[in-house]
Structure 1
């Protein structure tokens, strides 16, 4: 499945926050199960299975769906509801419950589900049955639902809203999402990314099996295991998922086994959408001031440096790799949660969570890769960020990565220095307050304004000299101004970029502020795309 096709199939759930519940209680196992469905299970056995699979050729296990499911519209698919009495942990009457997604539309991969008894170290398969679902208003011809079709994924609910709002969702390839206390889904994570920017076709590995440990009734934490499979790799994953009051935290043990050489491997990949924001206005001809699930890539580098990289919606695909060693964390962040910034009453971008990755093992050398794809609007994700190990991934290679994912409004950690509050860009080459063109007819430039807040900036003695330290890959910088802005209790750095050639290659910019030899802020990175020479004029 190609990226755009997969994303289109997932559109049915872009604004989805929950359907009525259902699944099958683990201890009952579930109607249709027999003693033949019980098998030994523990994580070491799953890792051994994944390693053994990687030593053999890939077998595509996607299925030919009956026409009534294959030809569904997103509206029909969403109309399929689960029977609340069939939920996985329904009889526990506890804090958590699980239900499964139906196969249909582009979701053709049957995903097998198992209930695990951790004491006996046994797993019992949960079989698909039409009786688990309610098909009213879906147009599904139930007579065509023959045999065990499997499931497409699963979702998790938390008390007291066990039948209203799901807070974790695994659906499609190895994609999954979670929410914070706003109950609003946003960006997605993946189990693994393969060749998302290389000279070969991108792969979308599938989670093909899940094993659920039944939690204690009072617990908001549960463990689920997953088997990943693709033409280039297999994987054994353990997810320890803590559904806290204001955030969801996932501790992940990822074990990857390469079937063949992989040119680009993405660890802890995340996918988001950026259409337009304060600095990128090309696609903002709508009633909304900003449109994005995330507005920046944050990186806490292995050397301790904090880096803020505002996201772009470029006119053509852009790829950047930020080299590092043992990064302390990175993530795609939605830093602005003010309704006034979006004026959106449909997708509620002001409520979208951020996603932060915290490595729990040493990751070694590699790069945080950022892929930005041109998009015409908000319905297709166009941002990918992940860790790409430097070590070559050859056939038979085994890799293990431990990390935590924090789904919350903002990352759980922050720099003690001043942070980037906003980035703005517009016409330059003239004095603020005057119009370009009339008094400056032969000058064209691009103006940038970067606001820094926090980090004790508002406690600096009056008259403290603030020095902006700026580097650009080409062109010339002029007209620097540093302004104290009382409304934000921070400083604004303004400068103009002037072209020195006709090149339209991206311009890389780097900025931080200091006083004397003391660094005051995190590092601002930006990539500007200059227009063609014949467009370097004012209207």
Structure 2
């Protein structure tokens, strides 16, 4: 499903922004603009090589960071949402719209929270061509816009369209800080990726790197791959990124990022995904809402270096929660939208069952570190209050060079799924005494059939706390097992729960993890 400017509404739009809650300071994240780096070596008419942007980022890292300014014509400087949404462009104005390359680029105007100035180029036959600002690309609704805007106004980002049956279908958007999104065929936008995350939830304040410029390589005719090279800059580091988009039933994005730190990077996020989790049936609703659930993803999935599959249901917590899952050379992780039926949400506006799952698959060894997840309390459904990413264990030294390669899958179902039962539902409610909580965890899978299903045991732990009243309900015809139990935290105010179905000494399910807090 394409989300054009004509169809997008306020709730969808705000969700695209990424995170008023997760960033703690949304204006700082999006209100960055300013002088472009010296890019004459890869400017108009210059030859382009695969290392051109990395070389530029390396040079930039040796110079002091220059904070971006916020210069923009007054008419765009203080737009509200409705005014910005009224700025539209027609498909006939897209770059390559009238050429047979299979893709088209829709430059996006600056304004509203998108004040960051981004310079756009194409690479055609090995030569760099600038996409100059062109006022004629846009209609401005009721805005009183001067007839001759400055040519150096530049853009705030772009949308990507692929051509199918002579029509353009949107499949990705790159706009704001280092944020970008993609969707598979038939999906709606949901979670949002960050190319680079620095010091999230840090008491000293999060640092927001920005995209400064892009070089978009013109594809060959009939190709289903679009390559985008980007320049990243921030106080602590500069960097280059190469994104290869392959849209379709599953949209795949290959990411190659090289960083050139100006300062030691102690807390960095790689493969970061932001999402929104407002409420679900996991626990009693805190909100008076007619829908069944509101979330763009409902769980964190991890395939760790020990070949274990972990499932952690997401929560909208009462207080800030930071979770770390230690690992070495992870095989994959992501934020997953597991419920695909309309009745799980009953949301006629956004159809949340169509939001993509986003899976990160490291390419090469990432060493030791943690999959870190931040869950932030939210009292408004527009907030993207979940953030997960890989945090390397070692500090990245100033003056060094480090590369991270990984593959993103924006999908309906994961590209690789374990031959194990998976968690299909998590519920909790009041237990048999004041502090006790009762849980119901449902597993489903093709391996839950006769006679194996009757041999399975539930291995459950609480740290701290104790587990009692365990019951296992087997439904062979549905290939489902439901486990109920009670957790008593004693006098503690937090407990980490773990549940896995065991067949002898081998796991028959993914590992369910859950954090209870008072």
> TM-score, normalization: structure 1?
0.86
Which SS does the other structure have where 1:148 is aligned?
helix
Which SS does the other structure have where 1:39 is aligned?
coil
2:132–2:151 CA contact under 8 A, matched in 1: no
Q: Quote the residue 1:536 is aligned against.
A: none
CA distance in 2, matches of 1:36, 1:453: 55
Q: Quote the residue 1:496 is aligned against.
A: 486
Which SS does the other structure have where 1:68 is aligned?
helix
2:291–2:345 CA contact under 8 A, matched in 1: yes
Q: Please report how far the alpha carbon of residue 113 of structure 1 lies from its aligned counterpart in structure 2 after TM superposition.
A: 0.6
Q: Specify whether residues 377 and 449 from structure 1 end up closer, same or farther in structure 2 by C-alpha distance, changes over 3 A only.
A: same
1:54 to 58, 61, 74: 61
Q: Specify whether residues 358 and 380 from structure 1 end up closer, same or farther in structure 2 by C-alpha distance, changes over 3 A only.
A: same
Q: Quote the residue 2:344 is aligned against.
A: 341
Q: Please report how far the alpha carbon of residue 11 of structure 1 lies from its aligned counterpart in structure 2 after TM superposition.
A: 6.2
Q: Specify whether residues 497 and 521 from structure 1 end up closer, same or farther in structure 2 by C-alpha distance, changes over 3 A only.
A: same
Asked whether 1:317 is paired with 2:305, we answer no
CA distance in 1, matches of 2:302, 2:367: 16
Q: Quote the residue 2:499 is aligned against.
A: 511
Q: Quote the residue 1:364 is aligned against.
A: 367
Asked whether 1:285 is paired with 2:276, we answer no
CA distance in 1, matches of 2:15, 2:371: 28
2:275 to 272, 277, 282: 272
Q: Quote the residue 1:65 is aligned against.
A: 72
CA distance in 1, matches of 2:72, 2:50: 31
Asked whether 1:454 is paired with 2:420, we answer no
Which SS does the other structure have where 1:113 is aligned?
strand
Asked whether 1:90 is paired with 2:97, we answer yes
Q: Which runs of 5+ in 1 are unaligned?
A: 1-8, 17-34, 430-441, 531-539
Q: Please report how far the alpha carbon of residue 191 of structure 1 lies from its aligned counterpart in structure 2 after TM superposition.
A: 0.6
CA distance in 2, matches of 1:166, 1:140: 29
Asked whether 1:297 is paired with 2:300, we answer yes
Moved more, 326-335 or 55-64: 55-64
1:197–1:264 CA contact under 8 A, matched in 2: no
Q: Please report how far the alpha carbon of residue 455 of structure 1 lies from its aligned counterpart in structure 2 after TM superposition.
A: 4.4
Q: How many residues align?
A: 485
Asked whether 1:13 is paired with 2:1, we answer no
1:402 to 385, 402, 405: 405
Q: Quote the residue 1:437 is aligned against.
A: none
Which SS does the other structure have where 1:345 is aligned?
coil
Moved more, 468-477 or 97-106: 468-477
Asked whether 1:133 is paired with 2:133, we answer no
1:426 to 420, 425, 429: 429
1:386 to 384, 389, 393: 389
Which SS does the other structure have where 1:484 is aligned?
strand
Which SS does the other structure have where 1:40 is aligned?
coil
User: 4+ residue runs of structure 1 moved beyond 4 angstroms?
Assistant: 9-12, 161-165
Q: Which runs of 5+ in 2 are unaligned?
A: 1-8, 17-41
1:12–1:74 CA contact under 8 A, matched in 2: no
Q: Specify whether residues 87 and 193 from structure 1 end up closer, same or farther in structure 2 by C-alpha distance, changes over 3 A only.
A: same
Q: Please report how far the alpha carbon of residue 516 of structure 1 lies from its aligned counterpart in structure 2 after TM superposition.
A: 2.4
For 1:144-223, what aligned pairs fall within 5 Å after superposition?
145-160=149-164, 165-223=169-227
CA distance in 2, matches of 1:36, 1:460: 67
CA distance in 1, matches of 2:477, 2:289: 27
2:128 to 123, 130, 139: 123
Q: Please report how far the alpha carbon of residue 497 of structure 1 lies from its aligned counterpart in structure 2 after TM superposition.
A: 1.1
2:439–2:486 CA contact under 8 A, matched in 1: yes
Q: Specify whether residues 184 and 443 from structure 1 end up closer, same or farther in structure 2 by C-alpha distance, changes over 3 A only.
A: closer
CA distance in 2, matches of 1:10, 1:263: 36
Q: Quote the residue 2:112 is aligned against.
A: 105
Which SS does the other structure have where 2:46 is aligned?
strand
Q: Deviations over 1:297-351 (max 9, x none)?
A: 0000011000001111111111111111110100000000110010101111111
Q: Deviations over 1:486-507 (max 9, x none)?
A: 5742101110112311x32x21
User: Rg: which structure is higher?
Assistant: 1
Q: Please report how far the alpha carbon of residue 40 of structure 1 lies from its aligned counterpart in structure 2 after TM superposition.
A: 2.7
Asked whether 1:327 is paired with 2:317, we answer no
Q: Deviations over 1:353-372 (max 9, x none)?
A: 10000111211111101000
Q: Quote the residue 1:21 is aligned against.
A: none
Which SS does the other structure have where 2:58 is aligned?
helix
Q: Please report how far the alpha carbon of residue 110 of structure 1 lies from its aligned counterpart in structure 2 after TM superposition.
A: 0.8
